[in-house]
């Protein structure tokens, strides 16, 4: 499996204590507030969804847009993604290194965590439910093309699909291809085309038309 990294020391409790503690605190707070009637659980779900799909991934979108518009930054991201991403103010993953995977003509990268749900949360926020699901975790490795098709992505038959397995020590950010028709756009406008799923590799960046 080209590009598939597997580490034997990849065990189930490595969500990273920082994430579990935060998640735990959030959960405790949630149940307290819900009990006291301060918070409507539906409103809470809506809040989580905003963080999952909008607020969280905005960080990653800014990283991608900067890479699209600034060749020096793009090179730095290729060489040392951890430092390049920290330069944007996004870090806090304990011992984890970030690796940027660049999509290009003939190559599409896709990220999975086969043993649990390691996820680059400083740049992407909360992992979507499907990322943590057993079918995605197993099938992304066995049949990435089929999984992509289910997400509505059909790549040319000669495009190589590389699947990368996240671990506690290594997390990945996919840099999708810059959409055509965006010449002259500034980084802020470009960031609006970068979706969470395009940075996991289960979709492409939006076309200017789709973004409208």
Q: Which residues are catalytic?
A: 113, 116-118
Per the CB < 8 A criterion, the answer to whether 121 and 55 are in contact is no
**Cα-based distances in Å from 7 to 3, 14, 48:** 13, 12, 31
Report the alpha-carbon angle 44-113-22, nearest 5. 35
């Amino acid at each position: 499996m080209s590009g598939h990294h597997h580490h034997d020391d990849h065990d189930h409790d490595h969500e990273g204590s920082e994430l579990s503690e935060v998640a735990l605190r959030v959960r405790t707070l949630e149940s307290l507030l819900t009990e006291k009637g301060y918070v409507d659980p539906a409103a809470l779900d809506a809040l989580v969804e905003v963080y999952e799909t909008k607020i969280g991934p905005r960080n990653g979108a800014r990283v991608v847009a900067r890479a699209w518009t600034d060749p020096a930054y793009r090179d730095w991201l290729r060489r040392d993604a951890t430092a390049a991403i920290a330069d944007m103010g996004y870090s806090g993953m304990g011992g984890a290194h970030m690796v940027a995977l660049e999509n290009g003509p003939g190559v599409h990268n896709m990220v999975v965590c086969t043993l649990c749900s390691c996820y680059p949360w400083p740049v992407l926020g909360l992992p979507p439910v499907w990322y943590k699901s057993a079918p995605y975790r197993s099938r992304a490795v066995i049949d990435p093309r089929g999984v992509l098709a289910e997400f509505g992505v059909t790549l040319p038959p000669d495009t190589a699909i590389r699947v990368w397995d996240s671990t506690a020590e290594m997390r990945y950010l996919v840099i999708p291809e810059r959409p055509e028709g965006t010449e002259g756009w500034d980084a802020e406008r470009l960031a609006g085309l970068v979706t969470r799923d395009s940075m996991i590799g289960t979709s492409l960046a939006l076309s200017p038309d789709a973004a409208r």
